[in-house]
Amino acid sequence: MSAHFLLGGARSGKSALAQRLAEESALPVTVIVTGEPRDAEMAERIARHRRERPAHWRTVEAPFALADALRAHAAPGRFVLVDCLTLWLSNWLLACLDDTPRRGPEEFSAERAALLELVAAPPGPLVLVANEVGLGLVPETALGRRFRDEAGRLNQDVAARAAAVSFVAAGLPLRLK
């Protein structure tokens, strides 16, 4: 089995491409979502994504334990779509940096390593979606710069392990690997 990593900017069409790949697989589909509805706009965004997916697809929420969710749901006869790694990373950074941290850096490092192992050898067909955040201006804040840097490193590490990598812009995929 192999992993296909899709990355691109916001509203670039990467989630639509991931959905199309899932549909074309003709396999049962599990979508692992990582976003948390922290505000009304995010709640609406999550609801819109759910409406856009076929009703018979299974949706699993994994804002932190992504490797566990992959282990539980990935299999040779099931297509798994992860949307998205960038929100997953954001969840971890915010949880580790809270005034009263809910999670620790060691826990994040272990989860990240487990995820990368699964990308290198997924138990079934896997598509992962992430944002490319390093093409814009240098973020103004230390947290913004850290997020951009962590996202860039995560994207590089996932791309190195995935069998296929595509960059999506204006709804058009460019195969990188």
Q: List, in order, residues 6 or more apart from 132 with CB less than 8 Å away.
A: 7, 8, 9, 155, 167
Structural domains of the chain, with CATH: 3-175 (3.40.50.300)
Report how far residue 34's alpha carbon sits from residue 24's, in angstroms, rounded to the nearest whole number: 23
φ and ψ of 35, to 5 deg: -70, 145
Neighbours of 126 (CB within 10 A): 23
The region, left, alpha or beta by phi > 0 then psi within -120 to 50, assigned to residue 13 is: left
| pLDDT value at residue 99 | 65
Confidence of residue 48 (pLDDT cuts 50, 70, 90): confident
Q: Helix, strand, or coil here: 84? A: coil
Which residues are annotated as catalytic? 49
Where helices occur in the chain by DSSP H, the ranges are: 14-25, 40-52, 66-73, 85-97, 105-120, 142-161
71 marked as part of a ligand binding site: no
Q: Look at the alpha carbons of 14, 75, 112, 120 in this order and tell me if their dihedral is positive or negative.
A: negative
Is 15 marked within a binding site? yes
Tokens 């589909």 -> residue: 29
Say if residue 174's pLDDT is above 70: yes
The answer to the question of whether 152 is labelled as a binding residue is no
The residue among 98 and 165 whose pLDDT is bigger is 165
Give the pLDDT confidence score for residue 100 in this predicted structure: 65
Confirm whether residue 52 is marked as ligand binding: yes
User: Is 77 one of the annotated binding-site residues?
Assistant: no
